[in-house]
């Protein structure tokens, strides 16, 4: 089994969308139309957005998004937010997601980030994130949703 953690490539949008079906089952399928392809290009060109994937034998099995945010506090050090962490069910409990998050942490350090924040609404995955170095006791996350969910 060959495992590579890397940045996503432009032609892998469909594979990413297929993987996202395991993230939020209630999300409607996105149609690869002109607007979506334009959005995808904008995402790929944004130097502050980092889409990481785990490729196992040529198949995308895990992904996360890290956004680096410029900042005027903490000596003008940026910080990062991680979202959309997903691993295909057939590849869970193998350490793949943990290694993916460690790679994101490595890049955040290289970018000079002083912290990474991550939210989850699922208590059962907190041990997974703690195993990857995150802690629950630091801050409390609050959210306002505009999508009615």
Tens digits of residue pLDDT in 59-102:
999 999 999 999 999 999 999 999 999 999 999 999 999 999 99
71-82: pLDDT as tens digits: 999 999 999 999
Please report whether residue 114 resides in a domain. yes
| Length in residues, the chain | 149
**Total domains, the chain:** 1
Q: What percent of the chain has pLDDT over 70?
A: 99
Please report whether residue 145 resides in a domain. no
Query: What is the CATH classification number for the domain harbouring 80?
Result: 3.40.630.30
Q: For residue 26, give both structure tokens.
A: 């209630």
Average pLDDT (137-149) is: 83
Q: Would the CA dihedral through 135, 136, 141, 145 be positive or negative?
A: positive
Q: CA-to-CA distance for 49 and 66, rounded, in angstroms? A: 6
Nearest to 100 by CA among 50, 138, 139, 141: 50
Confidence at residue 141, expressed as pLDDT on a 0 to 100 scale: 87
Confidence grade of residue 125 (pLDDT, cut at 50, 70, 90): very high
Residue 60 backbone dihedrals phi, psi, to 5 degrees: -75, 120
Please report whether residue 78 resides in a domain. yes
Which residue range forms the structural domain that includes residue 88? 3-131
């Amino acid at each position: 089994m060959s495992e590579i953690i890397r940045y996503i490539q432009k032609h892998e949008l469909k594979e990413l969308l297929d993987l996202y079906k395991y993230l939020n089952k209630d999300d409607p399928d996105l149609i690869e139309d002109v607007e979506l392809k334009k959005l995808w290009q904008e995402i790929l060109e944004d130097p502050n957005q980092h889409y990481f994937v785990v490729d196992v034998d040529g198949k995308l099995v895990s992904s996360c998004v890290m956004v680096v945010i410029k900042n005027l506090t903490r000596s003008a050090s940026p910080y990062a937010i991680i979202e959309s962490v997903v691993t295909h069910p057939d590849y869970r409990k193998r350490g793949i997601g943990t290694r993916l998050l460690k790679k994101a942490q490595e890049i955040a350090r290289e970018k000079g980030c002083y912290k990474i924040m991550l939210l989850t609404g699922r208590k059962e995955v907190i041990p997974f994130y703690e195993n990857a170095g995150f802690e629950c006791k630091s801050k409390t996350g609050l959210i306002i949703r505009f999508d009615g969910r």
